[in-house]
Amino acid sequence: MPDSGIVKYLVKLRFEVDGVVERADVIGAIFGQTEGLFGPEMNLNELQKSWKVGRIEINLESKNDRTRGEVIIPMSTDIGTAALIAAAVESVDKVGPCSARFNVGQIEDVRAVKRKQIVDRAKLIVRDWSSKTASEGENLLKDVTESTKRAKVINYGLENLPAGPGVYSSELVYLVEGRADVVLFLRAGIENVVALEGTSIPDSIIELGKKKRLIAVLDGDRGGELIEKELAQVMKVEKVIHAPQGKEVEDLTPIDVINMLKAEKVDMPAVQRRQKAAEAAPPAPRAADEAEEPVVVKTRELYPNLNGTLEAILLDQGLQEIGRFPISELVQKMEGTSGALYLIFDGIVTQRLVESATRMGVKGIIGHRTGELGQVPEDVRIGTFRDLGLE
C-alpha cells in the first residue's frame, strides 16, 4: 500500500480443494472467477492498481490428494467494499480442474489492534509491491492459467491402452495397472506411462519391452503380485515397484508417486531430459544439465529467497545479478537491460517469454515449469526447478 494509505481490513478466508494445487493456481482462480462480477471498478486488478487492495497472501498445504489453506487480502476500502470482495472470493468453486470451497473466516479491523506492526507491514508492501498495467496483469493471469494444463490420456497399440504421450518418445516407460493410474502419473508430470488393463500382458506391451526400458509400478495387493508373476513369464522389466502394502497406486497422491520413484532411485530429471531430447518436431526445450554446472549452482543459491515471490532475476555472463523485477514487469524491464545471459524466475516459461528473452541475448532460462512451447532456438537452454531437484 502507498505511504498515504494504511491497511484497514484483513479479509481472511479458508479454502479446501479436491486435489493438489499450488499458490499460483489459487491466485489464478481468485482473479479469474471474480473478474467482471461487479463492473471494472470492482475488479481485483483495478483495486490493486489504485492501491485499495494489497498483495494477496496464500498459505496452503497438500495432504491425501487435498489442499487446504488460507487466503489473506489486505484492503484500504470501506467495510462494505471489503465485505463484497470477501463474498466474491467465497463464490470461487474451482481451482484449475479441481472442485474448491472458500469460506470467509473473518474480516479483521486492523486499526483496532497493533497499529505500529500494521504500519511497518504497510511500509514493506510499499517497497515490494508495484503497480501493474492492465495488459501486464492479463499476461500474468494467462501464464498462471497455463500452469494448470496437463497432458491428456492417449491410446497406445492395437489394444488402445491408456497411456501418456511420453510413451512414444521416452526410452524408459512405466507400466501401471489401469487408466486411473495413468491419470495419476500425468498429474505428477510423468508422461512416459502406459496401462496394462488386466493381468494378461497385451502384445503391444511385449513389443514395447523389446525397444524400451520398462519399470512396472503395481498395486500393493494380491492383484499386483499376480501381474508381477505374469510379467516375469512373458517379458523382461528393469524393476518392479509396489505401492505400500494393501494400497492401490490410484489411492496415492502425485507427491506420493514422485517420492516412491525417488526412493527407488529412479532418475526422474534424467528421464525427462532423455524424453525431451528424443522429440524431433517441434524441437523440445532442453533441460538444464551438468554442462551448466555454474548456473545450476547459482540457481540453487538463489532459489530459497526467490521461491514464492513472483519475481525474476537476470544474471550476466559472470553470474552476477544485474536485475530483479516482479514477473509482471519482466518483459518490459528485460528489454531495457543489457548483458543478461541467464533468467531465473518464479513463474512459468511461456513462448512469449522465450521469444522476448532470446531477442535480448538470453541463453538460459529456468522457471517453475514450462507452458506450451513452439520453436525454441538451438542455442537456448530451458530448465525447471524440478529438473534441478529443488521441488
Average pLDDT for 14-28: 92
In the predicted structure, residue 215 carries a pLDDT above the cut 90 = yes
Q: How confident is the model at residue 249 (pLDDT cuts 50, 70, 90)?
A: very high
Which pLDDT value is given to residue 384?
86
Average pLDDT for 17-35: 90
Distances (CA, A) of 380 to 317, 338, 363, 383, 388: 14, 17, 5, 10, 17
Which pLDDT value is given to residue 141?
52
Distances (CA, A) of 315 to 159, 330, 353, 370, 379: 50, 13, 16, 20, 17
Alpha carbons within 13 angstroms on the beta-carbon side of residue 366 total 28
pLDDT: which is higher, 32 or 280? 32
Nearest to 275 by CA among 184, 154, 189: 189
Which pLDDT value is given to residue 128?
65
Greatest Cα pair distance in the chain: 76
Q: How far apart are CA 66 and CA 19, in angstroms?
A: 5
At CA 309, angle to CA 306 and CA 312, rounded to 5? 60
Average pLDDT for 162-177: 90
DSSP string, 276-321: HHH-TTTTPPPPP-GGGHHHHHHHHHHHHHHTTS-EEEEE-TT--E
Which one is the CATH code of 9-131: 3.30.420.40, 3.30.70.2690, 3.30.2270.10, 1.20.120.1200? 3.30.70.2690
Instruction: Give the other-Cβ count within 10 Å of 158's Cβ.
Output: 10
The total number of residues written for the chain in this structure: 391
Q: How confident is the model at residue 381 (pLDDT cuts 50, 70, 90)?
A: confident
In the predicted structure, residue 290 carries a pLDDT above the cut 50 = no
Looking at residue 238, the DSSP 8-state letter turns out to be: S
In the predicted structure, residue 281 carries a pLDDT above the cut 60 = no
Average pLDDT for 80-86: 89
Q: How confident is the model at residue 275 (pLDDT cuts 50, 70, 90)?
A: very low
First to last CA, the chain: 32
Cβ atoms of 156 and 182 within 8 Å: the answer is no
Which one is the CATH code of 290-384: 3.40.140.20, 2.130.10.10, 3.40.50.170, 3.40.50.720? 3.40.140.20
Which pLDDT value is given to residue 67?
93
In the predicted structure, residue 45 carries a pLDDT above the cut 90 = no
pLDDT: which is higher, 327 or 133? 327
The string of pLDDT tens digits covering residues 96-153 is 899 999 999 898 887 776 667 766 777 777 776 644 444 455 555 555 545 445 668 8
Q: What fold, for 154-278?
A: Dna Topoisomerase Vi A Subunit; Chain: A, domain 2 (3.40.1360)
> Cell for 122?
504497510
Residue 115, phi then psi, degrees to nearest 5? -60, -40
Q: What is the average pLDDT score of the chain?
A: 81
In the predicted structure, residue 69 carries a pLDDT above the cut 90 = yes
For the chain, give every domain's residue range: 9-131, 154-278, 290-384
SS3 call for 177: coil
Q: How far apart are CA 70 and CA 104, in angstroms?
A: 10
SS3 call for 199: coil
State the helix-helix crossing angle for 134-146 and 23-34, rounded to 10 degrees.
Answer: 130
pLDDT: which is higher, 388 or 162? 162
In the predicted structure, residue 280 carries a pLDDT above the cut 50 = no
Of 61-75, 206-220, 362-376, give the lowest mean pLDDT range: 362-376
Q: How far apart are CA 74 and CA 66, in angstroms?
A: 26
pTM for this predicted structure: 0.36
Cβ atoms of 235 and 205 within 8 Å: the answer is yes
DSSP string, 112-155: GS-HHHHHHHHHHHHHH-----HHHHHHHHHHHHHTT--PPPEE
> Which among 132-146, 220-234, 288-302 has the top mean pLDDT?
220-234
Q: How far apart are CA 348 and CA 300, in angstroms?
A: 18
Which amino acid, residue 77?
T
In the predicted structure, residue 270 carries a pLDDT above the cut 70 = no
In the predicted structure, residue 268 carries a pLDDT above the cut 80 = no
Which pLDDT value is given to residue 315?
93
Which pLDDT value is given to residue 149?
53
SS3 call for 22: coil
Which pLDDT value is given to residue 366?
92
Which pLDDT value is given to residue 72?
93
The pairs formed by 227-233 with CB atoms below 8 angstroms and a separation of 24 or more are 227/177, 227/196, 227/199, 230/199, 230/200, 230/201, 231/175, 231/201
In the predicted structure, residue 386 carries a pLDDT above the cut 90 = no
Q: How far apart are CA 18 and CA 301, in angstroms?
A: 34
Residue 230, phi then psi, degrees to nearest 5? -65, -40
* H helix intervals, the chain: 23-34, 44-49, 79-90, 115-128, 134-146, 166-169, 179-187, 203-209, 222-234, 254-263, 268-278, 293-306, 330-334, 351-359
Of 36-45, 174-183, 344-353, give the lowest mean pLDDT range: 36-45
Which pLDDT value is given to residue 241?
93
